[in-house]
Structure 1
Amino acid sequence: MSVTGVLHSDAKTRDELAAKSREWIQTAQTWLSAPLEKNRLTWNGIQIHCLLLLARQVTRLGPDLIWISAGSLIRMAMQMGLHLDPNCMEEMSLQEKEIRRRLWYTILEMNVQAALDAGMSPMISTGDFNTLPPSRMSDEELELGGAQVEAQSEMNGLSSQKQLLPLLAESLPLRLNVTKVINSLQEEPSYEEVIRLEKDLAAACRTATTALDSTPSLNLISHTSRFALSHFTHLLRRFALCLHFPFAIQSKKNPLYTYSQKHCLEAVQDIVSVLDDELYTRLLLTGGGMFRDLITRGAFILYLESTSDIDADISLVSRSRNRARRESIIRDAQRVAQYAKERMLHGETNIKGYVYISMSTAQIEALFDGSSPEEAAMTAARESLETCRGILEAMAVKASGVDTGSAVSDGVTSLLGDLDGQFDLDDGSWDFDFGESIFFHDGGDVSL
């Protein structure tokens, strides 16, 4: 209920479910953490644990600590033997084998995504398990039984329905390695290694895309299919974004890293495209953890790309031509700005992302219009802070039933007062700590 409540078509129902979710999640967490933990080492227990971690990210309830819980979940799964392939164990039905494999790779996927967000090691390698990836059989085909399905497929010339989890599982060893390289504390990877890993990621994406294109059930224009494809795209493409990001932000000073800027932009635009999916967007508006890429790394890459080589546009003709080439990037930046605002309307209390995106988008538009980028950024900062004040005041009244607008107003007035001097988004005075926190953490306190 907590995981899927945000997807309900009725806004009032979504709000009611969201209000109850915190209690439900805490109840499930308490049950899993009971002293007799061994009693939770069951199929039900581990499935509830998976749903609990997903619910915490969907509802933004401690999403920045998911990596810790995911590590505990992996150890539970290994204690139950899920890291061993069923073919190496005692006789069991095809269904039971498939359940074990699906659960194991679901847990691995949650762990690698959490490690990427936390900036930590996945704490597991491919040498720690031998479980084969799940098959591409649907639940209905499993119920029929493997032999019968195979005979039916040969007779009808039909292939088994391809599922998304097996496609993610195929690239999992690579993404585990990529995450370890990104978050390594020993030494920075060589740029040659980064390029090699990126090519492997690109090949994995092409393989997955080819498999999806040949899957009739996922080519249907339905909410379910679109949601699944959006989630798949998001989970896969964010690894290329994170891999290249540290180099892409240096591309203005070092042209050697232009390659990273290009591939970061492609990944960001793929992730931005999922905003076309209304159902998946509901999840992005409420989620924390892995659902925040667009207002952190993504926003900065769009700004970086839009302003690159801007000083070279000497003539009005070249400036106009350059703007036409970059209009799609500007539109994406505007969409991300609107998305950041809507996240606040859905409970986000950290205003820094929205303010920064609003300022950078205004500066980009001013640069191409030939007007003052500093004045445009200043105006956008004031307008976005006023917008934030209105949203936060309404949020405070709704939460407490008491008008706390004066306190919010004082805070915004103080911030507005700091904007009286001259500044530039690139001059270092606005420190979003790109190398580590990427603007901000969930519930964290990163000073401007």
Structure 2
Amino acid sequence: MPPRNQPSSQPRRQRRRPPLSCIECRRRKVKCDRKDPCCHCILWKIPCLYSPKTPSASARASGRRSVTPLTTNSSRDGTVQQPGAGHPTPETNENHNGEKTIPASPDPTPNTKQDPAELERRLCALEQMARSFAPAWALEKLDEASSSHSAPACNGDAFSFRKSSLYGKTHWSDGSHIFRNISAFLNAESDCAAENEITRRLKLDMRATVLKYKTLAKSLKSSQPGKYFPSPDVSLPTKAVADRVAQLYVSRFESVFRIVHVPSFWGEYGQYWSNPLGTPDAIRIKVQLVVAIGSSLCPEAHSTQGVRSAAAQTVHDAQRWIFGPWEKNRISISGLQIQCLLILARQVLNVGGDLVWVTMGTVVRTAMHMGLHRDPRHFENITVLHAEIRRRLWATILEMNVQAALDAGSLPGIASDDFDTEPPSNCNDEDLHDEVYKLEQRPDDTVTDASLQRHILSVLRPRVEIVRCMNSARKEVDYEEVMKLNSVIMDACRRCVTLTRRTVSDGGEVFRRNMGDLLLRRFLIPLHRPWVDRARKSALFFSSRKQSLDVAMALLSPPGDEGFSHLCMLGGGIFKHRLIHVTLTLLMELLAEIDEHDGSQPPEEPCSYRKMLMSGVEETRRQWEQRVQLCDTSMKLHMKICMILGQAEGAETGIALQQSMAQHGKASLESSYSLLESSSGLQPLDTGPTGNSGDFLHPGENLEFLDFDDIWRFDDLMAHGTVGHSFW
């Protein structure tokens, strides 16, 4: 029997936890957030590398093969994926926590056919791993070898998937990657303990204000008309106000979106006012929608709570009428006109205007069911007036469809080969009536009521090509094609200015010019965005960087028009996405300028350019404040604008970066809360029994309280009133 104290012949196995922090954070002995890259490596501008792990006993017992590259992070619960005996494959996936993992895959055999897309993904992953370990001179060679004129891979995935919604490259989320460093800057710790404590208190104050803002926004949304079941009893404003705003609609919007025949509409308008209760539902809803849309151009009228509530209620009433019990009168020219007016009203009044692309599918199919995609010459016994109304409506539907597809990051769903309808005739509305049997078109150089719509329709094909190439799952566009499309759109914008200068002097020339320019020029920002990042590494693509900035500045400050300015501050859809894309473009350029010139060049020239960029960013901040004053509850982009301005000012003044950004973020949240509170008229909310912002945090709660990688989340399809529905 061996003695008890005799040592065992088996060596004792020492269990050691695998390191979860990155190599640099372990070397500096600071807390790592275990992201890829982590917040400190972003702050220090160095590669973020993770050590390889050793295989666990369970992995060896099960025989499963799971490998983890150096840049793979551990999961939130502390478990890690262990490498097996096989060679690692470069393919990576994302789990539900947003962390990158490498799935197990069998060894390829010579007879196995490789998917080209699979090989391309593996090649991209290998390049990323090579960049992590290669020296600077090797990276320069790699950039030179990979710089080609083919479409660049976008930052991250080609598509973004958010809350059951898939968005392509033309959606604003494709440019939201510029905000990923904000949370890294805030969560990183400096060497000064006092600065860390100040930043911590500022973040606590930000959390308290966020919770108050969210509660106020929910209260405001719940009090809007039509929250649950809209009432069919919608009252218009006084006839004097209705006459004014209806005239504004006819003289402004009808120049681009030809929905109604103006003389016929005025006849229906008079019929409604002569007998409101006895008017057919189609005429009543059409008149109410026109008045509601026109009220958006009249700040003094729309500032009245009764007018705003009636306008929002009109949208819900029209929506209920369209999707009510299906009757034959829905499939008619009047029914189609109401659907088009409803699409426009939802965007103008910001009532579910961000999701009109889904509804546009119904509108397009209704129009095709009625044969609007076939030219009226194919039909017998059709009057000249009816034929022109069909052509105008079809052109309007095509325009609304491509605009909605651009904002949704989706495909248009209809190609040029799917229809043969001719453009509308170049004539005025007075030339069209029931007794006209042969229409004499005016020369193309003669400006008529249909000139602007005809001009915008003439550049429909290149804009559809932009949306299709950017959002397609397979098709890509090379740089030469990008510059060709850019030239076509820019020529059309210049032609638009010439057309609007020669129109009738009724006070709407500037509005028509701004509207036409917006519908054309805004396609260029998503077109150039994939090339802007590459332009910072290669001068071959510098034109995209310059064009993107020029377009953003032109859309940010169009020629002055009170009605158009109020519409841009009030509206959703087209008008809200204008400001989002412009903001992202200017912020992207400002961050690039800070990164390129800080401490590397004399401050004279960079400072002048930076001041110009900061002036543009300040204008976007001011416009977002105006939207909050009109009860738009979106506040996260305004906060991020202020934080990036704080980053720029901190770089100039030498203030601690985290402290400067946190101060600006706190000031933004407090300002937005005050504006929304004053515009809503609701009672202020208490912060707690003591008013201390720390009361909103439970002991041990994580301070990473803001999701900086997600600007907005769309709630429901139908937001209510003039309240934006993209708060959280």
Whether TM-score is above 0.5 comes out as yes
Moved more, 374-383 or 19-28: 374-383
- Superposed, 1:191-340 pairs within 5 Å as 191-192=478-479, 195-210=480-495, 212-213=497-498, 216-218=501-503, 223-249=507-533, 251-252=535-536, 257-274=541-558, 276-313=560-597, 318-340=602-624
Using the alignment, how far apart are the partners of 1:5 and 1:390 within structure 2?
26
SS of the equivalent of 2:374 reads coil
Moved more, 249-258 or 279-288: 249-258
2:306 to 16, 38, 47: 16
Asked if the contact 1:70–1:114 (Cα under 8 Å) also holds between the matched residues in 2, the reply is: yes
Asked if the contact 2:500–2:513 (Cα under 8 Å) also holds between the matched residues in 1, the reply is: no
- Superposed, 1:13-412 pairs within 5 Å as 13-142=303-432, 159-161=446-448, 163-186=451-474, 189-192=476-479, 195-210=480-495, 212-213=497-498, 216-218=501-503, 223-249=507-533, 251-252=535-536, 257-274=541-558, 276-313=560-597, 318-368=602-652, 373-394=657-678, 397-398=681-682, 402-406=683-687
Using the alignment, how far apart are the partners of 2:692 and 2:460 within structure 1?
49
1:250 to partner: Cα distance: 5.6
Asked if the contact 1:289–1:442 (Cα under 8 Å) also holds between the matched residues in 2, the reply is: no
- Runs of at least 5 residues in structure 1 that lack an aligned partner in the other structure: 423-428, 434-438
Using the alignment, how far apart are the partners of 1:197 and 1:412 within structure 2?
52
In the superposition, relative to structure 1, how do residues 394 and 216 fare at CA in structure 2: closer, same or farther (>3 Å)?
A: closer
C-alpha deviations, 1:237-277, integer Å up to 9, x for none? 11111222244356556766544322221221121123743
1:327 to partner: Cα distance: 3.8
Asked if the contact 1:7–1:14 (Cα under 8 Å) also holds between the matched residues in 2, the reply is: no
In the superposition, relative to structure 1, how do residues 20 and 412 fare at CA in structure 2: closer, same or farther (>3 Å)?
A: farther
Asked if the contact 1:121–1:184 (Cα under 8 Å) also holds between the matched residues in 2, the reply is: yes
Asked if the contact 1:63–1:442 (Cα under 8 Å) also holds between the matched residues in 2, the reply is: no
Moved more, 237-246 or 139-148: 139-148
- Which residue of 2 is the match for residue 432 of structure 1? 709
In the superposition, relative to structure 1, how do residues 39 and 94 fare at CA in structure 2: closer, same or farther (>3 Å)?
A: closer
Using the alignment, how far apart are the partners of 1:31 and 1:447 within structure 2?
28
SS of the equivalent of 1:46 reads helix
Asked if the contact 1:245–1:297 (Cα under 8 Å) also holds between the matched residues in 2, the reply is: no
SS of the equivalent of 2:457 reads helix
In the superposition, relative to structure 1, how do residues 158 and 168 fare at CA in structure 2: closer, same or farther (>3 Å)?
A: closer
Report the residue type matching 2:645 in the other structure.
T
Report the residue type matching 2:342 in the other structure.
L
Using the alignment, how far apart are the partners of 1:413 and 1:87 within structure 2?
72
Using the alignment, how far apart are the partners of 1:96 and 1:411 within structure 2?
65
CA RMSD, Structure 1 to Structure 2 (Å): 3.6
Using the alignment, how far apart are the partners of 1:145 and 1:403 within structure 2?
63
Using the alignment, how far apart are the partners of 2:496 and 2:514 within structure 1?
15
SS of the equivalent of 1:53 reads helix
In the superposition, relative to structure 1, how do residues 105 and 317 fare at CA in structure 2: closer, same or farther (>3 Å)?
A: same
Using the alignment, how far apart are the partners of 2:538 and 2:344 within structure 1?
39
In the superposition, relative to structure 1, how do residues 403 and 381 fare at CA in structure 2: closer, same or farther (>3 Å)?
A: closer
Asked if the contact 1:284–1:292 (Cα under 8 Å) also holds between the matched residues in 2, the reply is: yes
In the superposition, relative to structure 1, how do residues 164 and 374 fare at CA in structure 2: closer, same or farther (>3 Å)?
A: farther
1:339 to partner: Cα distance: 0.4
Could you say which structure has the larger radius of gyration?
2
Report the residue type matching 2:310 in the other structure.
K
Asked if the contact 2:383–2:437 (Cα under 8 Å) also holds between the matched residues in 1, the reply is: no
Report the residue type matching 2:333 in the other structure.
W
Moved more, 349-358 or 19-28: 19-28
1:371 to partner: Cα distance: 5.4
Moved more, 234-243 or 210-219: 210-219
Report the residue type matching 1:174 in the other structure.
P
SS of the equivalent of 2:454 reads helix
- Which residue of 2 is the match for residue 436 of structure 1? none
In the superposition, relative to structure 1, how do residues 19 and 191 fare at CA in structure 2: closer, same or farther (>3 Å)?
A: same
In the superposition, relative to structure 1, how do residues 440 and 280 fare at CA in structure 2: closer, same or farther (>3 Å)?
A: same
1:347 to partner: Cα distance: 1.3
1:361 to partner: Cα distance: 2.8
SS of the equivalent of 2:603 reads helix
In the superposition, relative to structure 1, how do residues 332 and 236 fare at CA in structure 2: closer, same or farther (>3 Å)?
A: same
Using the alignment, how far apart are the partners of 1:412 and 1:71 within structure 2?
49
Asked if the contact 1:249–1:301 (Cα under 8 Å) also holds between the matched residues in 2, the reply is: no
SS of the equivalent of 2:502 reads helix
Report the residue type matching 1:52 in the other structure.
L
SS of the equivalent of 1:296 reads helix
Using the alignment, how far apart are the partners of 1:325 and 1:131 within structure 2?
49
C-alpha deviations, 1:94-149, integer Å up to 9, x for none? 33222111100111111111111112211111111011122332323446969786
SS of the equivalent of 1:283 reads helix
Report the residue type matching 2:457 in the other structure.
A
1:201 to partner: Cα distance: 3.8
TM-score (norm: length of structure 2): 0.52
Report the residue type matching 1:270 in the other structure.
A
Using the alignment, how far apart are the partners of 1:292 and 1:253 within structure 2?
31
Moved more, 7-16 or 327-336: 7-16
- Which residue of 2 is the match for residue 426 of structure 1? none
1:336 to partner: Cα distance: 0.6
Asked if the contact 1:198–1:240 (Cα under 8 Å) also holds between the matched residues in 2, the reply is: no
- Runs of at least 5 residues in structure 2 that lack an aligned partner in the other structure: 1-290, 717-724
Report the residue type matching 1:210 in the other structure.
R
In the superposition, relative to structure 1, how do residues 209 and 89 fare at CA in structure 2: closer, same or farther (>3 Å)?
A: farther
Report the residue type matching 2:508 in the other structure.
T
Asked if the contact 2:633–2:727 (Cα under 8 Å) also holds between the matched residues in 1, the reply is: no
Using the alignment, how far apart are the partners of 1:148 and 1:172 within structure 2?
25
TM-score (norm: length of structure 1): 0.82
Using the alignment, how far apart are the partners of 2:437 and 2:552 within structure 1?
40
Asked if the contact 1:396–1:404 (Cα under 8 Å) also holds between the matched residues in 2, the reply is: no
- Equivalent residue pairs, number: 423
1:322 to partner: Cα distance: 2.5
SS of the equivalent of 2:522 reads helix
Using the alignment, how far apart are the partners of 1:236 and 1:31 within structure 2?
32
Using the alignment, how far apart are the partners of 1:413 and 1:259 within structure 2?
52
Using the alignment, how far apart are the partners of 1:390 and 1:447 within structure 2?
16
C-alpha deviations, 1:17-61, integer Å up to 9, x for none? 221223211111111112224321111111111111111112222
1:383 to partner: Cα distance: 0.7
Using the alignment, how far apart are the partners of 2:350 and 2:500 within structure 1?
33
Asked if the contact 1:431–1:447 (Cα under 8 Å) also holds between the matched residues in 2, the reply is: no
Report the residue type matching 2:485 in the other structure.
D
